[in-house]
Amino acid sequence: MTTIMRLNSGRRMSQAVIHNGTIYLAGQVGAPGECAANQTQAILAKIDALLEQSGSEKSHVLSATIWLADMADFEEMNAVWDNWIDREAPPARATGQSRLAGPDYRVEIIVVAAVK
């Protein structure tokens, strides 16, 4: 029997689920109404904290899915992402445009990582 650990669980979801050495993070968002760069920076800080709480770090990120409310924010988001990501261990990544949970959200990032 394998163990499943859930972190920061609420009624609707957990912020992280760990199973068989893999960490699945819920989609992370920044403060509504902020620019894409500020939202991305806040999101990546949340991801760092969740990875640390899960026994990992950004060098162990396997994949990232990034949703932008408007692809016009792609370069602004990437400027922050490029300063954050471990250049020696970049993850697989996809970026797309999608309507997010509310009109003031510009960026949402979902990460899958390996336990360190």
Tell me the residue type at 92.
Answer: A
**pLDDT digit string (tens) for 39-59?**
999 999 999 999 999 999 999
B/e letters for 68-97, b = 16+ CB within 10 Å, e = fewer, are: bbeeebeebbbebbeeebeeeeebeeebee
Domains and CATH numbers, the chain: 4-114 (3.30.1330.40)
Token pair of 27 as six digits = 């989609």
CB 59 within 8 A of CB 52: no
Average pLDDT estimate for 21-48: 98
Question: What pLDDT, on a 0 to 100 scale, did the predictor assign at position 112?
Answer: 98
pTM for the structure as a whole: 0.96
**pLDDT digit string (tens) for 103-113?**
999 999 999 99
